Structure 1
Amino acid sequence: PEGGLAELVVGEAEGRKVIFANEMDVDEEEDDFYFSDSSDKYHFREIFYVTINGERSGRVIKYNKKTKEVKVVMDNLLSNNGLALSKDGSFLITCESATGIVHRLWLKGPKAGTRDIFAKIPGHPDNIRRTPTGDFWLGLQCKNNLIGNLLVSKRWLGRLAEKTVNLKLLTALFNGFMPHGIVVKISG
Structure 2
Amino acid sequence: MASSARVLAAAMASLVVLMLLLFMPGGASAAGTVVPSIDATRTRHLPLPRGLLRGPESVAFDAKGQGPYSGVSDGRVLRWNGDKVGWTTYTYSPGYSSEACTASILRPETATESQCGRPLGLRFHLKSGYLYVADAYKGLMRVAPGGGEATVLVTEVDGAPLRFTNGVDVDQVTGEAGITYPNGLAISADRTHLVISSTGPCKLLRYWVKGLKAGTIELFTDLPSYPDNVRPDKRGGYWVALHREKTELPFGVDSHLLALRINIDGEIVEEMRGPKSVRPTEVVERKGGRLFMGSVELPYVAVVKRTCHGCENNGSGEHMKHPKDASEYTGGHVRDTCFLPAPGLPPMEYPVGDEDELHRAEEARLRAELTAYEDASFFEKFKGPHPGPFLVREPLVETEEMRQLWLALDGA
TM-score, structure 1 normalization? 0.58
Max radius of gyration: which structure?
2
Deviation per residue, 1:37-70 (Å, 9 max, x gap): 2xxxxxxxxxxxxxxxxxxxxxxxxxxxxxxxxx
Distance 2:259 2:207 in 1: 23
Q: Which amino acid is the alignment partner of residue 187 of structure 1? A: N
**2:172 alignment counterpart:** 28
Deviation per residue, 1:52-93 (Å, 9 max, x gap): xxxxxxxxxxxxxxxxxxxxxxxxxxxx21110110100011
Q: Which amino acid is the alignment partner of residue 85 of structure 1? A: I
Which of 146, 152, 162 is equivalent to 1:2? Answer: 146
Distance 1:122 1:113 in 2: 27
Listed as ranges, the matches of 1:84-99 within 5 Å are: 84-99=186-201
- The reply on whether 1:120 has 2:222 as its aligned counterpart is yes
**2:246 alignment counterpart:** 144
Structure 1 residue matching 2:173: 3-state secondary structure: coil
**2:259 alignment counterpart:** 183
Q: Which amino acid is the alignment partner of residue 28 of structure 1? A: Q
Runs (5+) with no aligned partner, structure 2? 1-144, 265-412
Which of 199, 204, 210 is equivalent to 1:102? Answer: 204
Give the CA deviation at 1:110. 0.9
Distance 1:100 1:86 in 2: 20
Percent of pairs with identical residues: 32
RMSD of aligned Cα (Å): 1.7
Give the CA deviation at 1:181. 4.5
Q: Is the 8 A contact 2:225 2:257 kept in 1?
A: no
Q: Which amino acid is the alignment partner of residue 186 of structure 1? A: I
Distance 1:2 1:100 in 2: 38
Structure 1 residue matching 2:166: 3-state secondary structure: strand
Which of 122, 140, 158 is equivalent to 1:14? Answer: 158
Structure 1 residue matching 2:200: 3-state secondary structure: coil
Deviation per residue, 1:150-174 (Å, 9 max, x gap): xxxxxxxxxxxxxxxxxxxxxxxxx
Structure 2 residue matching 1:177: 3-state secondary structure: coil
Runs (5+) with no aligned partner, structure 1? 38-79, 146-174
Distance 2:172 2:231 in 1: 17
Give the CA deviation at 1:115. 0.8
Q: Which amino acid is the alignment partner of residue 3 of structure 1? A: G
Higher normalized strand content (fraction of residues): 1
Distance 1:182 1:3 in 2: 31
Deviation per residue, 1:115-167 (Å, 9 max, x gap): 1111110110111111111111111110002xxxxxxxxxxxxxxxxxxxxxx
Give the CA deviation at 1:13. 1.1
Count of matched residue pairs: 117
Q: Which amino acid is the alignment partner of residue 15 of structure 1? A: G
Structure 2 residue matching 1:21: 3-state secondary structure: coil
**1:151 alignment counterpart:** none
Structure 2 residue matching 1:24: 3-state secondary structure: strand
TM-score, structure 2 normalization? 0.27
Distance 1:14 1:130 in 2: 30
Listed as ranges, the matches of 1:35-184 within 5 Å are: 35-37=179-181, 80-145=182-247, 176-177=249-250, 180-184=256-260
